[in-house]
Amino acid sequence: MSTSTTTDSAARARDLLGVSGLTNRALAAWLHGLPGVDQVGCEARAAGLKTRSIKTDSKRWAIDLAISMIDLTTLEGADTPGKVRGLATRALVPDPSDPSTPSPAAVCVYGDMVAVAKETLGESGIGVAAVATAFPSGRASLEVKLADTREAVAAGADEIDMVIDRGAFLAGDYLTVYDQIVAVKDACTRADGSAARLKVIMETGELVTYDNVRRASWLSMLAGGDFIKTSTGKISPAATLPVTVVMLEAVRDWHALIGEMVGVKPAGGIRTSKDAISFLVAVHEIAGEDWLDNTWFRFGASSLLNDLILQRQRMSLGVYSGADYIADDAPSAY
């Protein structure tokens, strides 16, 4: 582990918490001192965001933006090199009938498939994200989690999507969760000093309460996560708009406090253009325009791309092409 990286993170955390040493007691006091989430108010706000309508020109822009924000994903035990090549090729040419269609931000795969995706994508500029740290359970020793991360980075991963130890978090062992994020962040550093970006998956469906989502968001940012992410896509509920509202408030408030932007990635269960646009409306109204960019907001999805392309074609042609004319290679979990 890089001593300087760990020292910098710990020093910032101590300064922010106003303590001389990081302990579970200090982290618990800080996290439980955050304002509570009004469940009724949060869900009412999310419901209101879903009712917003946008004009035709804005909708066309929003659809293109949403496509550019997708992490096109396959995370199945039956993934093969051929399937990953097919998904990466789909990312390169999302709609063969319209070369103006933007490409997704990244292709997200298991670590052992990073090299295959990287080779297929070449110099396209589309990133490769790898899930790591014993995804999706997170039930492994720290040594295994770090080896998992380092192997993916060495294979060429541009981004690492790690899972937190939800058991430790729910038991109040916040220091373990913090230390593991810091260690994985350090493992994202390459030999040349550059680093893969780290997305921290909180698995919000297992955190039970919005207060826990807020606390996990702040803990992940304190430890140096570049993104906070809702879900693995393997647990229901996965990404919901109310949970994403809480996370967007967290990154907004973190930026106001620290001056540092952190990205947000809802993943799992977002399948329609209407859903995606509701999330973009939430980004605009809660976090702000700076987050309306795939550097700072992503959708973890695959089937979403099909619906966005169908809607895009309808706006261009005036009629639906029909789902039979769109590639259907989306894994069921997404």
Q: Where are the beta strands (DSSP E) in 12-149?
A: 70-73, 106-110, 127-132
In angstroms, how far is CA 2 from the centroid of its own chain? 25
Retrieve residue 15's tokens: 């300064």
The one-letter code for the residue type at 248 is L
| Nearest C-alpha neighbor of 244 from the set 45, 72, 99, 103 | 45
Q: Which of 71, 161, 165, 307 is the catalytic position?
A: 161
Q: Which of 118, 145, 185, 229 is the catalytic position?
A: 229
User: Is 274 an active-site residue?
Assistant: no
Q: Which of 148, 165, 265, 307 is the catalytic position?
A: 265
User: Is 145 an active-site residue?
Assistant: no
* CA-derived radius of gyration, the chain: 19
Query: In which residue are the tokens 């949403």 written?
Result: 66
CA dist 165 and 334 (Å) reads: 22
CA dist 193 and 313 (Å) reads: 43
* Element spanning 229, H or E: strand 227-229
User: Is 59 an active-site residue?
Assistant: no
CA dist 53 and 96 (Å) reads: 29
| Nearest C-alpha neighbor of 305 from the set 154, 30, 91 | 91
- Report CA-CA distances (Å) from 103 to 66, 114, 294: 10, 18, 11
- Number of CB atoms found within 10 A of residue 78's CB: 7
Retrieve residue 105's tokens: 């931000």
Catalytic residue IDs? 161, 229, 265
